[in-house]
Homo-oligomer: A and B are copies of this chain.
């Protein structure tokens, strides 16, 4: 028997988890469950990350977490427990499979356009770092960071810009097999794709890391129908099936998924979808219908009965954090600095003050406001906010050190409140920073 951690979730979480585990039990899976404390009620007990230390330890020991939907208390400044779990355990790849299901009608299924798309979403970075500051009382900053991805030259792929992708997904979703996206874009596109196949009730989600993996339903907790035994467990079941495959239980996964597809093809449904002329089943009865169809093969999309496989072992312990660092052979040098200052003065007034601080090592390159250059050239038709970027570079790209930057910082702070700073770096002869708009 393999033991996994299970968190039932909030709202409808416990009842859909119970339905899915009933299906798993009927399939006689070689699994033991250790239930852990995560979710809204754990925030309410005073754990500011939404999980108990015991839950964290159990999950880190077992390596697999199966979880229901969870709610994050609003207006308390706490962060989503779902996101905390994904980030803390470095489940860097969010894998979601979206498939047309017979019995789940959509605009696209009616038009005869089949959808079978796997979205892989980077799960840690981007604006979801959640590093946010008010620079002035008018200007909020979110730091969007992206690290160098690993190369997979053996994989063939095409590039597409996100806006074009979304346009094509609503016209020809059948053109796409696998889409790999950064975090924010992946968030948007995966819900868009969920819409193509009938909504979040049919969209499984797996968060894959090197040590810990999380399989979860990503729909809401639906507190309005919680406890009524009418919620749709399909997304959680599909997530569970993907967990079984991850653990190498290929045969049981195929039996359960085929039974689900067969059940949907029969027109069996919970109250939230399907043919309204047929009565809907409650959560328990829907699960039982699936169990009764174990061994049945659906007309469309039947999964092959593969032999069980050895699972990637997750039962190792890390003693320290892993550092991901690429090699860089070019020489690094500091060649300037951007200061973000608070001011409501005109560009030329600020520039004249800044010029006095440049000294013998720096030259004042430009001033920009919201990314648009406003000095030395610009337009009076560029509206301003009270936050300027003042860029200084070294004369002739001479390498600078931190003391040079600090000297300028000290000098300039006599005139301005400096809200933020960024070094300007070069690697070899490549500038590692962007120009301002209009520069």
Residues on A lying within 8 angstroms of B by beta carbon are 48-49, 56, 60, 77-79, 83-84, 87-90, 92, 106-108, 110-111, 113, 124-125, 127-135, 137-148, 162-164, 166-171, 184-185, 187-192, 194-196, 199-200, 209-212, 318-326, 328, 330, 332, 338, 344, 346-347, 368, 370-372, 374, 378-387, 389, 402-403, 406, 409-410, 413, 417-425, 427, 432-439
Known: A320-B346, A417-B402. A437 touches B381 (CB 8 A): no
26 contacts between A and B (CB under 8 A): A87-B437, A89-B381, A107-B171, A125-B370, A131-B371, A131-B434, A133-B432, A135-B422, A137-B148, A139-B146, A139-B148, A140-B146, A141-B144, A142-B143, A145-B370, A166-B166, A167-B199, A171-B199, A188-B188, A321-B346, A321-B347, A321-B382, A325-B386, A417-B423, A420-B422, A420-B423
Number of copies: 2
The residue in chain B whose Cβ has the minimal distance to the Cβ of A127 is: B144
The residue in chain B whose Cβ has the minimal distance to the Cβ of A369 is: B321
Known: A171-B195, A188-B163, A422-B420. A437 touches B135 (CB 8 A): no
Residues of B within 8 A of A192 (CB): 163, 166-167, 169-170, 192
Residues of B within 8 A of A56 (CB): 379
The residue in chain B whose Cβ has the minimal distance to the Cβ of A134 is: B432
| Set B163, B209, B323, B374: member contacting A344, Cβ < 8 A | B323
Q: How far is the CB of A208 from chain B (nearest CB, A)?
A: 13
